[in-house]
Chains A and B, each alone.
Chain A
C-alpha cells in the first residue's frame, strides 16, 4: 500500500506548528505564587479582624507602620518602585521620571 499521502499531510501541517502555542517567553517555566488571569483570587484574609488595624489612627504613617508589621517585605519592595521614587535612571545615565522631566501641562 502506498503511504505517500501521509508525508504530504505532515508537510502541510508542519508550518502550522511553527507558530502554535508553545511558551517561549523569557519567563517560561516560572510559576509565581498567585496565578491570576482575568480576576484576582479571593482574599484569604479579612483585614477587619486584625487587632493591629482596630486602632484610632492619628496619622496615616501609623497605618503604614501597621501594614508593614505583617507585610514586612512590602516597604522595601515599594520603596524602589517608580510610584514612590518618581525617578528612573535612564540608560544614558540621565535621571528621568516625573520628578525630573518637564511637560507642557
Chain B
C-alpha cells in the first residue's frame, strides 16, 4: 500500500543497497549497477533485504531458495539491460508475477508474437530499452504527472530521440497499404489517431500472458485455521484467500476500461483528506478530457481494493505490513490498529485510533503487450448502438453508437420526399415517352 514503514520489503526492488528507513543516504556507492546490467541471469536481490542480494544461500518465506550471488562473476559479465533484467522488478510488481500491471509479466522474457508483436522472440525481438530510449541513465516513460517525452511525429530510422511513444516510429497516420498503392479503408482508419490512442485498438485484451489481480480486499486478512495461516488457491492458480493479504480476485484476457487520457496522472497522497462515499475513492487516476487536444481515448486496467482508512481524520492509512514482532507490523501481529499506528507514525501523520475499510480504485494505463495487427479491434467493437467498448466515453460523436433521433427523422423524411418526386418525375417521363410513340 505504501513504501513508508515497509522499506526493506519494498526496497528489495530499489536499484540501490540498504534503504531501510527514512534516513537512507542516496550516495553513489549505494547504487546497484548490477541489477540492471547483469547479463548472466544469476543476480537476484533477496525479497526482504532492503535491496541487497543474498551473499549466502538464503531461503525466502520457508520455501524459495535464493542462491548466493557471485559478485565478481556478475561484475565481469555486465552489458545492456535485457527484458529479463528489467523484468526482475517490473514483471513482479504488486508482489508476484503479473499481479499489478496486467500488461507486463514474465511471459515477456521470450514472448510469442501473439502476446507482443514487438518483443516477439522469433521476430522483432525488442528489448524494453528499444522503446524506452535512454540517455545518460534517464529512461524515457511517463513519469507521474509528466507525459512520456517525444512529439506525436514520425521519426526516421537513424533519427535519435525519444521512441517511447508509438507515434515516434509509426507516425500519426500509421496504417499503410502493404501491396496496393492506396486503400480507402486505411484513410478512414488513420483519421482515428487524433482522438483514439494506438493502444485502444491494438491492446484488445489485457492479462493475455498470466493472470492479473483485479480486486484486493485487505479487510479480511488475518484469519487463521487451527492457528495456521490460510492460503486458498483459486482456479487461475492464484490465491483467493491469503492470511497476510486478504481476499483476492484474479482475471485473464480481460476487456480494458476506456478513459480520456493526456499522458498524465493525478494522485491522492497520504495526508490529503478524502471523504469516503458510495463510490470507491480514486487513488490514482488518469487526466484528460475530450476538449483537450492532447487527450486520446486510452485503455486502462482498473484495480479495485478495500483498504484501511481513518474515519476521524479522513485520511488513507499507511499501514505497517512488514516487520518483526513487536514493531506493530500486520504480517507479524495481524492487528490493523497496531499496524495503522506504526505506519502513520513512520509517515509523520496523525492517527485517531479508528480503522475503517473503504473501497478504492487505481487505474493502470495499458501500453504493453501490443497484439499483432490481425488481433486489433474491429470497427464494430465500438461502432455499435449498445454494448460497445466505448459506450461510456463522452464528448465525441461516435458514428454507429450515437444518433440524433429528430435529425434522423428529418433526413429520412427528406429522402422519402426525394424518392417520391423522383418517382413522379420518372413515371411522368415514361408516360410521356409512351404517348409520343
Contact = CB atoms under 8 A, between A and B. Distances in A.
B282 to A, nearest CB: 11
B335 interface: no
Nearest to A40: B80
Contact of B153 (A25, A31, A77, A80): A25
Given A27-B160, A30-B161, A86-B3, A63 B34 contact: yes
B76 A54 contact: yes
Contacts of A99: 3-4
Most B C-beta atoms less than 10 A away, residue of A40, A75, A97, A101: A101
A53 to B, nearest CB: 5
Interface stretch (B255-263, B266-274, B288-296, B420-428): B266-274
Contacts of A61: 17, 29-30
Contact of A102 (B36, B137, B318): B318
B123 to A, nearest CB: 11
Contacts of B316: 102
B32 interface: yes
Given A30-B161, A61-B17, A83-B15, A96 B144 contact: yes
A78 to B, nearest CB: 5
A84 B143 contact: no
A37 to B, nearest CB: 6
A50 B157 CA distance: 35
Interface string A49-63: 010011111011111
B126 A38 contact: yes
Nearest to B315: A102
Contacts of B30: 61, 64
Interface string B160-174: 111000001001110
Interface in B333-357: none
Contact of A84 (B2, B31, B145, B305): B31
Nearest to A98: B3
A104 B360 contact: yes
A2 interface: no
B331 interface: no
A55 B74 CA distance: 12
Given A25-B155, A98-B3, A57 B161 contact: no
Nearest to A104: B305
Contacts of B33: 63-64, 67, 74
B76 A21 contact: no
A68 B76 contact: no
B394 interface: no
B157 A102 contact: no
Nearest to B53: A60
Interface string A64-105: 111110000111111111111110101110111111111111
Chain A CB within 10 Å, residue with most, of B10, B129, B137, B267: B137
A100 B139 CA distance: 20
A40 B270 CA distance: 41
Interface in B75-105: 75-80, 93-95, 99-100
A36 B158 CA distance: 7
A35 B283 contact: no
Contacts of B224: none
B323 to A, nearest CB: 17
A53 B77 CA distance: 10
B136 interface: yes
A68 B69 CA distance: 20
Given A26-B161, A61-B29, A105 B72 contact: no
A48 B28 contact: no
Nearest to B360: A104
A3 interface: no
Q: Which 8 A-B pairs have the closest CB atoms?
A: A104-B305, A75-B28, A27-B161, A57-B71, A48-B76, A96-B144, A77-B137, A88-B144
24 contacts: A25-B151, A26-B151, A30-B161, A32-B160, A35-B158, A38-B130, A39-B125, A47-B78, A60-B17, A60-B52, A63-B34, A64-B33, A67-B75, A74-B33, A75-B29, A83-B36, A84-B31, A99-B4, A101-B2, A102-B270, A103-B283, A104-B305, A105-B93, A105-B362
Interface of B: 1-4, 10, 14-17, 26, 28-34, 36, 52-53, 55, 69, 71-72, 74-80, 93-95, 99-100, 124-127, 129-130, 135-139, 143-146, 150-151, 153-162, 168, 171-173, 213, 216, 218, 267-270, 283-284, 303-307, 316, 318, 360-362
Given A53-B75, A97-B144, 11 more contacts: A19-B172, A23-B153, A25-B168, A26-B151, A43-B79, A60-B32, A81-B139, A82-B143, A90-B267, A98-B10, A104-B304
